[in-house]
A = this chain, B = another copy of it.
Amino acid sequence: MNYEELLNVALKEARKGFEEEGVPIGAALFDAEGHVLGRGRNRRVQENDPSAHAETDAFRRAGRQKNYQDTIMVSTLAPCWYCSGLIRQFNIGTLVVGENKNFPGHLDWLREAGVKVIELNDARCIELMSYFIEHHPDIWNEDIGVCKPSK
C-alpha cells in the first residue's frame, strides 16, 4: 500500500478546509485495496459543527459499514481522544498519521489496542497546521477543548 498516496487524499481535504478558513485537518477512510470509502475535513468553522473533526467527518461520509478491521483511516494530524476513541471503538485496523508534531495524539494508546499506526512525518502537513495554529490559536484551542472558562 502506498500510504503517501493515501495521505495526499487527506491533505487535499485539509487544504480545502484551509481555503474555507476552517481548521485545516483532512482525513479519509479507505478499504483494504486503497479505495476511498469517505473523505472528510474539520468543519467546526464552516458549519459551526464542533463534532465534525476530520476523522469523524470521513467516517460519517463513508456511511454504515459492517466491519472496519480492514479499513485504513488516514489523517493529516494525529487524532485527539475523540477521534482515537472512534478508531478504537470501531476497530479500524490501520491508522496513517500525516504528522504528530503539532499535536501528539495518543498513538501508543491505539497501538496497545491493536491498531497498526503509521507515522509519515510529512513536511507539508506540518507546515499547514503550524501556520494555522500560529494565526488562529483561539480556534485551534477551541477545537481541542483547551479553552479557559469565559468567566
Do most interface residues of chain A lie in helix, strand or loop, or is the interface mixed? loop
What sequence of 0s and 1s flags, for each residue 73-92 of chain A, a beta carbon within 8 Å of any chain B beta carbon? 00000001111111011110
Given A81-B85, A85-B83, CB of A63 within 8 Å of CB of B50: yes
For this chain, the copies found in one complex come to 2
Please give the number of chain A residues whose Cβ is less than 8 angstroms from any Cβ of chain B in the complex. 38
A64 interface residue per 8 A CB criterion: yes
Point out the residues of chain B lying under 8 angstroms from A83, CB to CB. 85
Checking B68, B144, B148 against A145 with a beta-carbon cut-off of 8 angstroms, the contacting residue is: B68
Would B145 and A89 count as touching, CB distance under 8 A?
Answer: yes
Point out the residues of chain B lying under 8 angstroms from A150, CB to CB. 66-67
Given A51-B59, A56-B51, A60-B51, CB of A148 within 8 Å of CB of B67: yes
- Chain A positions near chain B (C-beta within 8 angstroms): 44, 48-52, 56-57, 59-60, 62-70, 80-86, 88-91, 142, 144-150
